[in-house]
Amino acid sequence: MEQVFKKLTELIKNNDEIFLMTHSNPDFDGMGSAIALQQIINKFNKTSYIVRNYKDNDHSLAKAYQYMEDEHIKHCFIGKTEALEAIKEDSLLIILDTQKEQLVEQPQLLKKTNNVIVLDHHIKGKSSIVGMFSYINSNISSTVELMVNYIKYLNFEINPLVATYLLIGLEIDTNSFTVKTTDKTYEAAAILARQGADNVIKQEILQEEKDNYMRKQKLIAKSYMVHDNIAICEADDDIYDSQDLAIVAMKLLQFENVEASFVIGKIKNNVIGISARSIDRINVEEIMSKLGGGGHLTEAAAQIEGSSIKEVSKLLFEIIGGNYESNIY
Given the rule CB under 5 A, which residues bind Mn ion? 29, 97, 142, 173
The span from the CA of 102 to the CA of 126, in Å, is: 13
230 vs 288 by CB, closer to Mn ion:
288
For the sheet with 294-295, list strands across it.
Answer: 224-226, 230-239, 260-268, 271-278, 299-305, 294-295
**Chain CA centroid to CA 118, Å:** 14
CB 141, CB 121: distance < 8 Å: yes
The span from the CA of 229 to the CA of 75, in Å, is: 46
Whole-number minimum distance, CB 126 to Mn ion, in Å?
20
Whole-number minimum distance, CB 173 to Mn ion, in Å?
5
Whole-number minimum distance, CB 120 to Mn ion, in Å?
8
Instruction: Identify the burial level of 56 via C-beta atoms within 10 angstroms of its C-beta, where 0-12 means exposed, 13-18 middle and 19 or more buried.
Output: middle
Phi, psi of 114 (to 5 degrees): -100, -5
48 vs 143 by CB, closer to Mn ion:
143
Whole-number minimum distance, CB 149 to Mn ion, in Å?
15
Whole-number minimum distance, CB 92 to Mn ion, in Å?
21
29 vs 241 by CB, closer to Mn ion:
29
Nearest residue (beta carbon) to Mn ion: 29
**Chain CA centroid to CA 103, Å:** 10
97 vs 234 by CB, closer to Mn ion:
97
Q: Which amino acid is at 190?
A: A
197 vs 320 by CB, closer to Mn ion:
197
Give the CA dihedral 157, 160, 161, 163, nearest 10 degrees.
70
173 vs 285 by CB, closer to Mn ion:
173
Whole-number minimum distance, CB 147 to Mn ion, in Å?
11
